[in-house]
Amino acid sequence: MSNLITLQNGIASVAQDDWALVKLPQSQVEVRKQAGKVVLFNLTGEKTVSDEQVANTVIPANGKIIVPLSVFIARHSELANRVAQGEVGIWLATHELLDDLIKNQTDINELPIIAIFVERFADGRIFSLGNLLRMRYGFKNELRAFGDVLRDQLFFLKRSGFTSFVIRADRSAADAIASLKDFSKPYQGAVDEQRPAFQRYNRGA
Amino acid sequence: MYKYDEIDQQIVDERVAQYRDQTRRFLAGELTDDEYRPLRLQNGLYIQRHAPMLRIAVPYGMLSATQLHKLADIASKYDRGYGHFSTRQNLQLNWPKLEDTPDILAELATVQMHAIQTSGNCIRNITTDQFAGVAPDEVIDPRAMAEVMRQWSTFHPEFALLPRKFKIAVSGTQQDRAIVQAHDIGMEFYTDKSGKVAIKVWVGGGLGRTPILGSVIREHLEWQHALTYCEAIIRVYNLHGRRDNAYKARIKILVKALGIDEFRKQVEAEWIHLKDSPNTITEAELARVAKHFEPMPYETLPAQDSSFDAAIASNPAFAAWVKRNVHAHKTAGYRAVTLSLKPHGKAPGDITSAQMHVVADLATQYSFGELRASHEQNLILADVKLNDLFAVWEKARANGLATPNIGLLTDIICCPGGDFCSLANAKSIPIAEAIQIQFDNLDYLHDIGDLELNISGCMNACGHHHVGHIGILGVDKDGSEWYQVTIGGKQGNDASIGTVIGPSFSAEEMPGVVQKLIEVYLKERTDEERFIDTVRRIGVAPFKANVYAKEGASA
């Protein structure tokens, strides 16, 4: 049974996944992914993915693939043809920088899918990343959340612009769908509905 | 005060349904402790030492009589017949059953109340001045904006899981009473040169383990942009704040790490994109909400009342209460009244169900059916006629709600501490009670005058000890409870963080330590000086010397 929920025209359903996720090889170096970007990049200059990991990443020869952002950037020439065919999406983790994506991919709508990996469900950076991709960078295609994705965060993910959700393997996607409808008339404008309640409804005076 | 329309009601009703299902799944083993924790916290439910604790939201401190009656009934039905007003103007129940919490929330929803975002790593209840709308020094009544911000922050999808809790205070007075400088975001409303409402925005203040007063990130923000500017600030924080260490996760740590100038630069760079986006507040929306906060239908009254003057002259106890617990009002012939939840020897901020019914009835009879909770943990009737004050006093006094100690040493701000809270290092309520008993002499208390004494049972600083003129912090040393003392802290426009006077004390020593601090003040003060003024003038050293003097020596 697939654990992928997709939203199409506002209708959610459990769907088959036709994308293959390309993972990075394990690294021996511990990355302080929760430490925040100030600590991660500005103060210590840590790189979160090593050159070795990028080089050793196994990219399947055929089919639709979602590759790590670091691999996408470093091995772009290898992938260029397939990108043109619409066979390549990218994924990044919540501690990675969107700037790196934007700098290296002039038209992000060339990518049929961008996926964001959330290691811990309580990591709310994923919501800002979704919002930025949609509102700032105008990404129009599938935006996917995967990793520690649980039903009680789905409503917020949807409002932040995500349109597909890979529910954590030990939980039921069919059950989780219900939570996409937790609230009917949210107050504030967000990605899915940009106007706040006071713009959408006549609330009288 | 603000009354729900169908949209507000639907959101609260849907929240009850959502939380009921989450709790059902938790009890059925479908959610782990770790998964359920942020869900219950964002509904105000803590798992405490003895029982869960439920924190009910009182948005910017405003309550109706109907709501307080309901809170009283809930405390009787689901708890032990009392509640505790917190320093975020909320009400806490100390003994509810986890299984009952969905039903409690359903009952709250019937009176337009909830527990949404009273805890957890999200935008918390927005607080303000308890005298909003009636204070003579008020420039802008901030309540309409506070309500607009409450709605905006409720289930804000981008900020549902921040690195840490996020507290916003708003204020519209000349004398700040909302401690805007001790908040993640503080908003000070004022009228600018062109006569328009503007906001001075503070960021990165906070108490807790690392007390820091906020920095001004923007001197002038047009009110329409309040929400989008907050979005820019909180987005920078959400993306860059630390999530690896709870003690370094507040926005103040990020602001400090980047420096206010760099932080401002990043916020402004975000805001360029957010400014004028759909969450920009419209004139129509502010006007719609502001209608709920229009002045009460006051009678035209003379500024003086002879029966009131006569009662003051003939009744010293009433006069003492008026001196401390009755406050000036914008409207002639009216006063605001603080009902003290600080009777000597009782847990500060606690109120029984019976007392809640009394206060609700007083509000109905004498104050247009509304009241407020203050961050000093008292209740306020904001609109009482001068010639009703005596009747209010008699009824309040008969119910233990008229201790004439507002702003005095025994009006102690105090967290629940080690008696209830599982975070606490030490008990705080027994310290407050012991100090109140030590100073249980009203003439002496009035002679000491204005003094704010704040107690926290741990460095999370729920009792605001850093900004107490005298601050007491419970600390754990090798498994036993000790108390560290600071002096010179202050809330208000000239806020400051207190200075530690030296090594900590045992619980038994604490009333004596406070006594010795007071001795120095009484000896050194000039005629006009409050305790805080004397501390600021002569410094910590003389106080320290007296407190730590060997037996036999004296000040």
What range defines the domain where residue B452 resides? 413-547
Choose one of B398, B429, B454: the last residue of a domain. B398
Specify whether B149 is located in the same domain as B286. yes
- B112–chain A nearest CA distance, Å: 16
**A131: contact with B, CB 8 A cutoff:** yes
Task: Quote the pLDDT of residue B553.
Answer: 47
Specify whether B239 is located in the same domain as B272. yes
Q: Taking CB atoms and an 8 Å cutoff, what residues of chain A touch B31?
A: 152
Confidence of residue A44 (pLDDT cuts 50, 70, 90): low
Task: Quote the pLDDT of residue A28.
Answer: 74
**B120: contact with A, CB 8 A cutoff:** no
Specify whether B278 is located in the same domain as B321. no
Choose one of B348, B371, B398: the last residue of a domain. B398
Residues B134-188 have pLDDT tens digits of 999 999 999 999 999 999 999 999 999 999 999 999 999 999 999 999 999 999 9
* DSSP-derived secondary structure letter, B371: E
Q: Where along chain A do its domains lie?
A: 4-25+33-181
* Closest C-alpha among A189, A188, A91 to residue B153: A188
Q: Which residues 12-51 in chain B show a CB within 8 A of chain A?
A: 14-15, 18, 22, 31, 35, 38-39
Specify whether B323 is located in the same domain as B367. yes
Residue B136 lies in a domain: no
Q: DSSP of B198-235, one letter per residue?
A: EEEEEES-B-TTS-B--EEEEEEEEGGGHHHHHHHHHH
Give the CATH number for residue B257. Answer: 3.30.413.10
Residue B114 lies in a domain: no
Considering the four listed CATH numbers 3.20.20, 3.30.1490, 3.30.410, 1.10.3470, the one that applies to the domain covering A4-25+33-181 is 3.20.20
Specify whether B228 is located in the same domain as B280. yes
The pLDDT mean for chain B works out to 95
The pLDDT mean for chain A works out to 92
In this structure, the strands spanning A65-68 and B62-64 are: unpaired
Residue B203 lies in a domain: yes
Query: pLDDT at residue B545 above 60?
Result: yes
Domain count, chain B: 4
**B540: contact with A, CB 8 A cutoff:** no
Task: Quote the pLDDT of residue B479.
Answer: 86
Q: Cβ separation of A38 and B240 shorter than 8 Å?
A: yes
Residue B53 lies in a domain: yes
Specify whether B429 is located in the same domain as B540. yes
Residues A138-193 have pLDDT tens digits of 999 999 999 999 999 999 999 999 999 999 999 999 999 999 999 999 999 999 99
**A169: contact with B, CB 8 A cutoff:** no
**A102: contact with B, CB 8 A cutoff:** no
Q: Cβ separation of A183 and B121 shorter than 8 Å?
A: no
- Residue B39: burial class (beta carbons within 10 Å; 0-12, 13-18, 19+): buried
Query: pLDDT at residue A42 above 60?
Result: no
* Closest C-alpha among B415, B536, B534, B406 to residue B472: B415
Query: pLDDT at residue B555 above 50?
Result: no
**B271: contact with A, CB 8 A cutoff:** no
Specify whether B335 is located in the same domain as B392. yes
CA-derived radius of gyration, chain B: 23
Residues B332-346 have pLDDT tens digits of 999 999 999 999 999
C-alpha triplet B58, B64, B69: angle, nearest 5°: 95
Q: Which residues 137-196 in chain B show a CB within 8 A of chain A?
A: 151-163
Q: Cβ separation of B155 and A38 shorter than 8 Å?
A: no
Give the CATH number for residue B77. Answer: 3.30.70
Task: Quote the pLDDT of residue B208.
Answer: 84
Residue B133 lies in a domain: no
Specify whether B382 is located in the same domain as B485. no
Task: Report the complex ipTM.
Answer: 0.95
Task: Quote the pLDDT of residue B554.
Answer: 47
Query: pLDDT at residue B394 above 80?
Result: yes
Specify whether B277 is located in the same domain as B150. yes
Q: Taking CB atoms and an 8 Å cutoff, what residues of chain B touch A123?
A: 161, 243
